[in-house]
Structure 1
Amino acid sequence: MDTEKITQCMKPHGEEGIQTIENMNENHKDISEFAFECVKVNNNDKILDIGCGGGVNIEKFLKLTENNVNGLDYSEISVAESIKRNKTAVEEKRCEVILADVSDMPIDDETYDLVSAFETIYFWPDIENTFKEVARIIKDNGQFMIAQGTNGNHPDDEKWLKTVEGMSVYTAPQLEEYLLNAGFSNVKSYKKENDYILVVIAKK
């Protein structure tokens, strides 16, 4: 994967950004499917998908809860594509997509029952403090789900880390330590059999 492609994955922009979002929606299917197998969604959960990209996971969550499902991304194109994909829910006021940075979210304390992050934490700055910011907006007994295509041991990890400045990959034990330090009370990890896909679910 070349630098421009990964830069687009970090923050889709321009015309190429729309194609990147479409590719991510397709390429991340296996990760998304496994994550939805691992997490329990209640039908009244209020949900936020951070780094929502093209809005495909917002769309999936909307089918599992009767409450609101919102998205957040710092890419203007991602916000626009997520709104377009979930147009009906946006019009019905069941979905809002926020343009913001995960490290400083314009969201009240204890707003959400479930927060998700699909294939995005690689690019989050100051991961432990950012996890504290995520914990802040989650209700007591709420969940934070991280889903990623590597468990920190993928053969391509080293290549990506050398190519992209500021990118990080994490193992399940590392994530557990950061999440517990950030204020979560319980962390469980799930690795897809015969794959590198990792899902980590932290409870507040």
Structure 2
Amino acid sequence: MVAEKITQCMKPHGAEGIETIKNMNENHKEISEFAFECVDVNENDKILDIGCGGGVNIEKFLKLTENNVDGLDYSEVSVNASIEQNRKAVDDDRCHIIQADVTDMPVYDEEYDLVSAFETIYFWPDIANTFKEVARIIKSDGKFMIAQGTDGNHPDDEKWLATVEGMSVYTADVLEEYLIAAGFRKVEVFKKENDYILVVIATK
């Protein structure tokens, strides 16, 4: 008998999706903290967090820049959670949460100084072309930061791939190849010491 795949990680939905987002906010804290240690944020940076989930990373970015910090997610549950997490910034027009697919974002070319993706690229389809779409919306010299809990060598990778619907895992080398092909000119790799947490920052 084949076990039923876990679907909430890919696209949180319904009451269970709300709980999934709460759990993600808690379980991804260490990954988020390491990523914020790796990236430089300027006070004028306009930022987009793709796969914004519960909006906790948007909240962190809002404290580091005086510009807008927006979020994008294709899950309605995630969009609503991000809005509520950042209600004041949304009301003040400093934060817009967009419900859309990362493969075709309703965003102008070269709109953002920094784009982030926390624990989400596992589920992006056609990642080569999706990275090109991300590059499109980033300004020249802007950055794209990927943060994930595995560097492709985590002992639980096979278990996750077998149980979580739509999941793929990438090593730093593979990500660098895709990012350079997508139009980024420089890729920096950060790995947390004695852990599998991986942060990749690509400069356009």
TM-score (norm 1): 0.97
Distance 1:28 1:168 in 2: 18
- Deviation by residue 1:127-161 (Cα, 9 ceiling, x = unmatched): 01000000000000000000000000000101111
SS in 2 for 1:7: coil
Which AA in structure 1 matches 2:34?
F
Cross-structure match for 2:197: 197
Which residue of 1 is the match for residue 120 of structure 2?
120
* 1:35 and 2:35 correspond: yes
**1:85-124 pair list within 5 angstroms:** 85-124=85-124
Which residue matches 2:63? 63
Q: How does 1:36-51 map to 2 (within 5 A)?
A: 36-51=36-51
Matched residue SS, 1:105: coil
Letter in 2 for 1:71: G
Report % sequence identity: 79
1:130 and 2:134 matched: no
Does the C-alpha gap of structure 1 residues 3 and 23 become closer, same or farther in structure 2, counting only changes over 3 Å?
Answer: farther
Contact 2:7 2:165 in 1 (8 A): no
Whether 2:151 is the aligned partner of 1:151: answer yes
Structure 1 segments unaligned to the other structure (5+ residues): none
> Which AA in structure 2 matches 1:73?
D
SS of the aligned residue for 1:202 comes to: strand
CA RMSD of aligned residues (A): 1.0
1:165 shift after superposition: 4.5
Q: Which residue identity lines up with residue 169 of structure 2 in the other structure?
A: V
Match of 2:160 in 1: 160
The 4+ residue runs of structure 1 with deviation greater than 6 A are: none
Q: State the distance in 1 between where 2:7 and 2:105 align.
A: 22
Shift of 1:3: 5.0
2:10 touches 2:165 (CA, 8 Å); kept in 1? no
What is the match of residue 141 of structure 2?
Answer: 141
TM-score by length of 2: 0.97
- Do the aligned residues in 2 keep the contact of 1:3 with 1:164 (CA within 8 Å)? no
Q: Which runs of 5+ in 2 are unaligned?
A: none
- Alpha carbons of structure 1 residues 112 and 21: separation in structure 2 relative to 1, 3 Å: same
